[in-house]
Amino acid sequence: MLGAIIGDIVGSRFEFRNHRSKDFELFTAACSVTDDSIMSLAVAKAIMEAVATEKAERFGRNSEEFYAILSDLTVKYMREIGRRYPHCGFGGMFRRWVRDDRLGPYNSFGNGAAMRVSSVGFVARDEEEAVRLADAVTEVTHNHPEGLKGARATAVAIVMARRGASKNEIRARIEAKYYPLNFSVDEIRPTYRFNETCQGTVPQAIVCFLESSSFEDAIRTAISLGGDSDTIGAITGSIAEAYYGVPPEIGDRALGYLDKELRAIYDEWEKFAS
């Protein structure tokens, strides 16, 4: 999940002023934590509590009851935490959902489904479980097939990278089950524009990872593409973390942008995930 947070923070200052080059300073005073990081931490909090509940222990992580508990907790923490950060960059419909307990899933295929799912890839034991977990934390808002697909593809790429799959294997799985990846970043960069959909963001972010040579290069490649920079950075960064790991100096700089509450959730997650 740290990779997603880093990509979000680095990309935050370029979201509406794209920088189509890899040459830039990673962290500046203009960088900030946005909804990508905040909702990623909310989902992580839900996963931790779901696993810890007495019911989850009794039913086990393969049971329908566990996934129902996880969905309920995802709603709880995305709303509870989201209401404390009302100006972090939420989209219009998600902002209304956060504020109004009466609202349910709203058939979204926005890239928020993929930006917040990284913790799933780091806790799932295999691809099948990654898909089930991704659905449980996604369908509470983004229940459109394309929204679910974006979250699944991201989670599967993370769990494959974490378990030692090669880039060729990851590419083959994503192309077989989710998206064509028959383009390069250099080919699409001149015409790629801001896009908040999963189908217009997730495959591009995955290709940014596939073309990278290191964690830092993955983040720089994602930002250089343009578009919804913080979200592309978050998705790319989450897969790159699983594949390369995160250089300590980059991780430490990013964590300095988290306030006390968000840092506490992150620290709790680090203990849990390890």
pTM for the full predicted model: 0.97
pLDDT (tens digit per residue) in 204-226: 999 999 999 999 999 999 999 99
pLDDT (tens digit per residue) in 11-33: 999 999 999 999 999 999 999 99
Q: Which of 45-54, 69-78, 179-188 has the lowest mean pLDDT?
A: 45-54
Domain encompassing residue 51: 2-273
pLDDT (tens digit per residue) in 127-177: 999 999 999 999 999 999 999 999 999 999 999 999 999 999 999 999 999
CATH number at residue 227: 1.10.4080.10
Tell me the mean pLDDT in the region 244-273.
Answer: 98
Angle at 126 between CA 46 and CA 120, to 5 degrees: 25
Q: Per the structure, how many domains does the chain have?
A: 1
